A and B are shown apart, each in its own frame.
Chain A
Amino acid sequence: MAASDYPGLDTLALHAGAQPDPATGARATPIYQTASFCFPDSDHAASLFNIERAGHVYSRLSNPTNAVLEERIAALEGGVGAIATASGQAALHLAIITLMGAGSHIVASAALYGGSHNLFAYTLPRFGIETTFVDPRDPQAFAAAIQDNTRLIFGETLGNPGLDVLNIPAIADVAHQAGLPLMVDSTFTTPYLIKPFELGADIIQHSATKFLSGHGIVIGGLLVDGGHFDWEASGKFPTLTEPYEGFHNLIFTEEFGPTAFIQRARKEGLRDFGACMAPTSAFHILQGIETLSVRMNRHVDNTREIVNFLMEHPQVDRVGYPELEGHPDQSLAATLLPKGCGAVFSFDLSGGRPAGIAFVDALNVFSHLANIGDAKSLVIHPASTTHHRMDAEALAAGGIGEGTIRLSIGLEDVKDLIADLKQGLRAAGKAAGGSRS
Chain B
Amino acid sequence: MMITVNEQTVYCYTNSRDIDPAKPSIVFIHGSGMDHCVWTLASRHFARHGNNVISLDLPGHGRSGGAPLATIEAMADWVIAVLDTLKIEQAALVGHSLGSLIALESAAAHASRIRAIALVGTTSPMPVSDAILDAAKANDHSAFDMLTQWGFSKRHQFGGNRSSGIWMIGNTLRLYEQSRPDVLFHDMRACNDYQSGIEQASRVTCPALLLLGAEDRLTPVRSTQALQSALTSAKVEVLPGSGHTIMVESPNAMLDALHQVL
Residue ranges of A at the interface with B (Cβ–Cβ < 8 Å): 1-3, 5-7, 12, 15-19, 46-47, 50-56, 61-63, 66-67, 70-72, 74-75, 78-84, 227-228, 243, 249, 251, 254-259, 262, 266
- Please determine whether B37 and A16 come into contact, CB atoms closer than 8 angstroms: no
Of the candidate stretches B115-123, B158-166, B205-213, the one touching chain A is B158-166
Contact with A along B156-197 (1 / 0, CB 8 A): 011111111111011100110010000000000000000000
Which DSSP category, helix, strand, loop or mixed, fits chain B's interface?
A: helix
Min CB distance, B161 to chain A, in Å? 6
Query: How many of B's residues come within 8 Å of A, CB to CB?
Result: 38
Given contacts A62-B165, A78-B170, A80-B170, contact A2 B37 (CB under 8 A): no
- Please determine whether A52 and B145 come into contact, CB atoms closer than 8 angstroms: no
A227 to B175, CA, bound (A): 9
Closest 7 CB pairs of A and B: A54-B162, A52-B45, A62-B164, A74-B167, A70-B165, A257-B37, A258-B174
Which residues of A have CB within 8 Å of B178?
Answer: 257-258
Cβ of B200 < 8 Å from any Cβ of A? no
A1 to B166, CA, bound (A): 24
Contact with A along B8-36 (1 / 0, CB 8 A): 00000100100000000000000000010
Residue from the set B35, B45, B165, B255 with the largest chain A CB neighbour count within 10 Å = B165
Min CB distance, B10 to chain A, in Å? 15
A81 to B175, CA, bound (A): 13
A81 to B155, CA, bound (A): 18
A417 to B201, CA, bound (A): 74
Which residues of A have CB within 8 Å of B171?
Answer: 80-81, 227, 258-259
- Please determine whether A3 and B13 come into contact, CB atoms closer than 8 angstroms: no
Residue ranges of B at the interface with A (Cβ–Cβ < 8 Å): 13, 16, 35, 37, 40-42, 44-45, 48, 131, 141-142, 145-146, 149-150, 155, 157-167, 169-171, 174-175, 178, 251-252, 255
Min CB distance, B13 to chain A, in Å? 7
Which residues of A have CB within 8 Å of B35?
Answer: 257
A61 to B213, CA, bound (A): 30
Which residues of A have CB within 8 Å of B13?
Answer: 254-255
A40 to B169, CA, bound (A): 29
**22 chain-A/chain-B pairs, Cβ below 8 angstroms:** A1-B142, A1-B149, A3-B141, A3-B142, A16-B158, A16-B159, A17-B158, A18-B160, A50-B44, A50-B48, A52-B42, A52-B48, A53-B251, A61-B164, A67-B165, A71-B166, A75-B169, A80-B170, A227-B174, A255-B37, A258-B171, A262-B165
Which residues of B have CB within 8 Å of A251?
Answer: 16
- Please determine whether A82 and B37 come into contact, CB atoms closer than 8 angstroms: no
- Please determine whether A80 and B174 come into contact, CB atoms closer than 8 angstroms: yes
